[in-house]
Structure 1
Amino acid sequence: MTIDSSAPRPRANRLESPHPTGGYDQMVTWPNGNVSYLLRGQLHREDGPSFVGADGSRSWHRNGREHRENGPAVFCPDGHHQWWLEGHQVSEAEFRRRTGH
């Protein structure tokens, strides 16, 4: 296998300490336009989506697991939403029952 050293590489910005409101220590911009926010190498962000796709998708993670307490944790480009708590997918009804939202 050969590796094309001229292929576009992700651009990573590492912070000296976690972001004061976002809690992440690295932001990675991928050649395809996707953006990931990481804490110790895992998707993590406290003040917004931890993954923003160039296609319009967005997802929220805490410590590498899908999680959001004030709305759907996953937004797909086709308009589909998914609710997740602590890495477990739940129905919208279960989400509302457990979070009061």
Structure 2
Amino acid sequence: MGDIIRIHRERREPEPLWREVLGRKLRESREEQGRRLVDIAERAGISPQYLSEIERGRKEPSSEMIAAVSGALGIELSRLLGGISADLNRRTIHRSAGPMLMAA
């Protein structure tokens, strides 16, 4: 019989949800501009509570909502989405693939 080989597996942090990265980017942008949540929500035509939930990654906003919030922040939608994509790519590159067994 063959030997049993134990493989130590690293505990990896789960990948963030897209809505969590979106919310983080929106909050960072708003705070960098020194703007209040209530003001951005009003400009975007949504409630401050809903914007807060988006920023915390609790809600999955529609494309219309994302466009409204990015417009209220004065951010081009392509720039916002590019930043989200870059963040997700950085996480993927820095994650280790972990151990792998291959059968012959």
Q: TM-score range by the shorter chain?
A: under 0.3
Between Structure 1 and Structure 2, the one with more strand by share is 1
TM-score scaled by structure 1? 0.24
In terms of fraction of residues, the more helix-rich structure is 2
Kindly name which structure, 1 or 2, has the bigger radius of gyration based on alpha carbons.
2
Q: What's the TM-score once normalised by structure 2's chain length?
A: 0.24
